[in-house]
Amino acid sequence: MATVVVIGTQWGDEGKGKVVDLLTARADYVARFQGGNNAGHTLVVAGKKIILHLTPSGILHPDKVCLIGNGVVVDPKVLLEELDRLQAFGVAVAPERLVISAYAHVIMPYHRLLDLAREARKGHSKIGTTGRGIGPCYEDKVARTGVRIHHLLDEASLRRRLEAVLDEKNFLLTHYYRQEPVDLEAVLDEYLGYGRLLAPFVGDVSTCLNRAIAENRAVLFEGAQGTHLDVDHGTYPFVTSSNTVAGNACCGSGIGPTKIGHVVGIMKAYTTRVGGGPFPTELFDTTGEHIRTCGGEFGSTTGRPRRCGWLDLCVVKDAVRLNGLGSLALTKLDVLTGLPVVRIAVGYRCDGAVLDGLPAEMERIERCEPIYEEFPGWEEDLRSVRRFDDLPAPARRYVEAIRDHVGLPFSIISVGPGREETIVVKDPFAS
């Protein structure tokens, strides 16, 4: 079956944008199924960099159809600005190439205000939210008080939704958070304007995808964030507000689980995370600085420096189980070039026991001490390598050790940021 789901195996920022962009060459449709503009995918094409937050990465290919599924929360202002940037980049986005689910929920101004006010109030207990309104929007979705894309196309319907929620939102903003209230008429006017601009793109993503699959068209499902930011299975509460695992490709786009053919797990050759939360292999020395500098480890959405550490295979193996991975894609192997030794965490010691996965309790994770295997580093530049056998011997041993510990083959190995700087071991669509 020609359907592939791309999932991050760590805490996000694994390089999914490049892998999706690469695999899109084999796809006819590319669908985004969760998250919002808290995610950012950085792509480098012909030496030019572009960051996408909501539009699926496949939009850079002129003959592909991109879809934003019902599981995504959409900030319409951000999406329209992104479409303008794509236009300036030379990518024309017509309604035939981008479909937005009418069922996708909309991030409203009060969502962003509440997100920022809550985080500020937490002080030292901050979880590191981007403040984009993602969490409050998902809360309203679950509470059945949210605004969906189709509401933006109908003034009476949008007015009713806003009248139903703004009393409560404004009470919270003014009485608890000491913020200014949101004006109903101003929001109504602004968001109806967004609706008029987005109307040509609004459609039935579920029907579109199921028709494509029935016609045996190749479909790529693009995840945002990473497995260990999943609201159910991640390092709670330091997680995002949606399900980031492969199973949500079905819920967030409107297809059945029998329609998924192959799941690719994206992993960096080291580990990073942004914001708060436990990180057993985090480095605070010059090696961590080397990785951050050489890897350009700064948030594509926030610009925040990412925390960097050695590769943690406990994290990756948990992701294999949670997503039912069929293969792995390794990114940023080139960033480790120049280090005298490289290390991989293959287990933890915690409270006198040896563990091979993350415990559920945050307090226990914070007490975990990594068990490392050490490998010699390499000095050679990897960016021109296109065959696995042409990698320097130490780099090959490092990759082989990952494969052997995880028990899965690699389909892709990235040796640089450019689309062409890639070793394709096996085509996931051929699996």
Give the tens place of pLDDT for each residue, 371-420.
999 999 999 999 999 999 999 999 999 999 999 999 999 999 999 998 89
Q: Residue 389: what pLDDT?
A: 97
Q: Is 144 annotated as a binding residue?
A: yes
pLDDT class of 255 with cuts at 50, 70, 90 = very high
CB-based burial, 202-233: b 16+ in 10 Å, e otherwise = bbebbebbbebbeeeebbbbbbbbbbbbbbeb
Q: Which amino acid, one-letter code, is at 287?
A: T
Q: What is the mean pLDDT of residues 295-312?
A: 87
301 annotated ligand-binding residue? yes
- pLDDT tens for 79-93 read 999 999 898 888 889
Residue 1 scores a pLDDT above 60 = no
Q: Is 70 annotated as a binding residue?
A: no
Question: Does residue 17 have a known ligand-binding role?
Answer: yes
Q: What is the pLDDT of residues 5-53, one digit of tens each?
A: 999 999 999 998 889 888 998 999 999 999 999 777 676 666 777 788 8
Task: Give the three-state DSSP class for 176.
Answer: helix
Task: Say if residue 244's pLDDT is above 80.
Answer: yes
Cβ neighbour number for residue 36 with a 10 Å cutoff: 30
Write out pLDDT tens, residues 281-294. 999 999 999 999 99
Q: Is the pLDDT of residue 187 over 70?
A: yes
Q: Taking residues 161-186, what's their average pLDDT?
A: 95
Q: Which of 327, 238, 240 is nearest to 277 (CA)?
A: 238
Query: Is 22 assigned to a binding site?
Result: no
The answer to the question of whether 39 is labelled as a binding residue is yes
The mean pLDDT value of the chain amounts to 93
Residue 426 pLDDT > 80: yes
Q: Quick one: which H or E segment has residue 318?
A: helix 313-323
| Residue 230 to residues 41, 236, 421, Cα–Cα distance (Å) | 18, 8, 30
* 41 assigned to a ligand binding site: yes
Cite the active site residues: 13, 41, 141
Is there a binding annotation on residue 414? yes
Residue 42 in marked binding region = yes
CA distance 338 to 343: 14
Q: What is the mean pLDDT of residues 171-199?
A: 96
Domains of the chain: 3-96+204-430 (3.90.170.10), 105-201 (1.10.300.10)
Residue 265's pLDDT band (boundaries 50, 70, 90)?
very high
pLDDT confidence of residue 124: 61
Residue 415, both tokens: 């040796």
pLDDT at position 127 is: 61
CB-CB contact of 266 with 15 (8 Å)? yes
Strands (E), 95-142: 98-101, 105-106
pLDDT at 128 over 80: no
Picking from 39, 19, 40, 20, the residue whose alpha carbon sits closest to that of residue 30 is 20
Report the pLDDT value the prediction gives residue 96, as an integer from 0 to 100. 94
Write out the H or E segment, with its range, that includes residue 379: none
pLDDT at 406: 97
347 known member of a binding site: no
Percent of the chain with pLDDT over 70: 95
| The pLDDT of residue 303 | 78
Q: How confident is the model at residue 121 (pLDDT cuts 50, 70, 90)?
A: confident
* Percent of residues in the chain assigned helix, strand, coil, to nearest 5: 40, 20, 40
Known binding residue 281? Answer is no
Query: Is the pLDDT at 129 greater than 80, yes or no?
Result: no
Mean local confidence (pLDDT), 210-234: 95
pLDDT at 430: 86
Write out pLDDT tens, residues 313-371.
Answer: 999 999 999 999 999 999 999 999 999 999 999 999 999 899 888 898 888 999 999 99
